[in-house]
Amino acid sequence: KAGVTQTPRYLIKTRGQQVTLSCSPISGHRSVSWYQQTPGQGLQFLFEYFSETQRNKGNFPGRFSGRQFSNSRSEMNVSTLELGDSALYLCASSLGLGPHGYTFGSGTRLTVV
């Protein structure tokens, strides 16, 4: 079965712009979680969606937002980009029964210049 698909793989944006990242979960998975990974901070939880509802949110500013569609695909949006937003953004999908069932995508590498 197809894995978790994240697009685009790489992205370069300038400060002040906004960006939308996409995540298509494994077929049948209803939970999608987003993480930011930076060398200094490691992996940090952004938010988790289940059946189109945000179920959990991490400690990120309001510039970071997301949504989930009825087909479980999820998008993450970052507005007014800052240099510090440069990171690998990982999406993980699961049936919704807990993180041991997570399957991660390969991520989107965002560089803000």
Partner 1 sequence: EDKVVQSPLSLVVHEGDTVTLNCSYEVTNFRSLLWYKQEKKAPTFLFMLTSSGIEKKSGRLSSILDKKELFSILNITATQTGDSAVYLCAVTQGDSNYQLIWGAGTKLIIKP
Q: Give the C-alpha separation, 52 to 72, whole Å.
A: 7
| Identity of residue 86 | S
In 3D, which of 22, 40, 34, 38 has the Cα closest to residue 85? Answer: 38
> What is the pattern of x (binds partner 1, CB under 8 A) and - over residues 18-57?
-------------x-x-x-----xxxxx--x------xx-
Among 24, 25, 64, 107, binds partner 1 (CB under 8 A): 107
58 near partner 1 (CB under 8 A): yes
The answer to whether the beta carbons of residues 34 and 46 sit under 8 Å apart is yes
Q: Can you give the binding site for partner 1, defined by CB under 8 A?
A: 3-4, 31, 33, 35, 41-45, 48, 55-56, 58, 88, 90, 97-107
